């Protein structure tokens, strides 16, 4: 496969969907909110329509690929090659009119991302990468931060829909990052967080109970930009295991060590 060409073709598709999101947020009616179990796990017709648009066009781009999607609008899964799609990462932000949300699309072979695209339409920033090709924002090369320590770093995180008895661990880790870094940010869209790690706006990101569609594109951006990713144990189960630590080269391991020190049960 020509990953560079697939990436460029997919960028055009993703940008079209991003434009749709930007149009819809202008007049979104909160009466269209639906709930996926938890009271803070929201979805709308916008998520579903955006996903349908992506699936229809990406199906033509790589016909042999299956799909792993957040909203489950298609039942076509491959044992090898799949598009992993979050049509609207940051749905809660979108619903409240907070302009931090994105489209996240990755082409993955097994658990190995080959192409990754994160498009934030509000800033018109398209982050992209393909395996071995480097990482880019609007076509310009990007790199992770050259910060030398956790103490020199700004860290981002997210809060899972269910803390499932882990609230004490979570708040303790949050407190330690506040004390040992330049601060913590919570943007509300994991794919945006990872894109910002890739371009050096934040030095690291961590979260648990993530899904593959939250991170598949972003982890490729980070690694192609010179950063490191792992699960909380330092392993490679993050894509389908839910735990993720992503950071600049000098920051990833100190972050992971801090988390491991306070996370009493690192198995989800």
Q: What is the pLDDT of residues 31-52, one digit of tens each?
A: 667 766 555 555 678 889 999 9
- Read off the pLDDT of each residue in 233-257 and give the average, rounded to a whole number: 96
- Strand pairing partners for 126? 119
Tell me, yes or no, if the pTM score tops 0.85: yes
Are 120 and 220 within 8 A, CB to CB?
no
Mean pLDDT rounded to a whole number for the chain? 92
Q: Residue 267, SS3?
A: coil
pLDDT surpassing 50 at residue 267 = no
Residue 193: pLDDT band (50, 70, 90) is: very high
Nearest to 43 by CA among 28, 52, 32, 51: 32
Question: Among 33-37, 106-110, 122-126, 177-181, which is the least confidently predicted range?
Answer: 33-37
Cβ neighbours around 38 below 10 Å, total: 10
The pLDDT value recorded for residue 163 is 64
Distances (CA, A) of 250 to 171, 191, 193, 246: 24, 21, 18, 11
Are 230 and 222 within 8 A, CB to CB?
no
> Residue 20: in which H helix or E strand, if any?
helix 3-25
């Amino acid at each position: 496969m020509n990953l560079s060409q697939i990436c460029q073709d997919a960028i055009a598709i993703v940008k079209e969907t991003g434009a749709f999101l930007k149009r819809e947020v202008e007049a979104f009616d909160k009466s269209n909110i639906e709930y996926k179990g938890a009271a803070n796990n929201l979805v709308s017709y916008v998520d579903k329509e955006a996903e349908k648009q992506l699936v229809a066009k990406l199906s033509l781009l790589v016909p042999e690929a299956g799909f792993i999607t957040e909203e489950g609008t298609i039942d076509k899964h491959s044992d090898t090659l799949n598009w992993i799609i979050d049509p609207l990462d940051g749905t809660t932000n979108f619903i409240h009119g907070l302009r931090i949300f994105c489209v996240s699309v990755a082409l993955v072979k097994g658990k190995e991302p080959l192409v990754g695209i994160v498009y934030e339409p509000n800033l018109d920033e398209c982050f992209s990468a393909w395996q071995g090709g480097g990482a880019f924002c609007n076509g310009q090369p990007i790199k992770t931060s050259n910060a030398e320590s956790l103490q020199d770093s700004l860290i981002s995180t997210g809060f899972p829909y269910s803390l499932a008895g882990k609230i004490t661990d979570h708040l303790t880790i949050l407190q330690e990052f506040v004390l040992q870094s330049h601060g913590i940010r919570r943007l509300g869209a994991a794919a945006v967080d990872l894109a910002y790690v890739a371009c050096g706006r934040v030095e690291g990101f961590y979260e648990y109970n993530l899904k593959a569609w939250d991170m598949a594109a972003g982890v490729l951006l980070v690694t192609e930009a010179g950063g490191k990713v792992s699960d909380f144990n330092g392993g490679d189960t993050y894509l389908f295991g839910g735990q993720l630590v992503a950071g600049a080269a000098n920051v990833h391991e100190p972050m992971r060590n801090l988390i491991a020190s306070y996370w009493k049960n690192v198995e989800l």
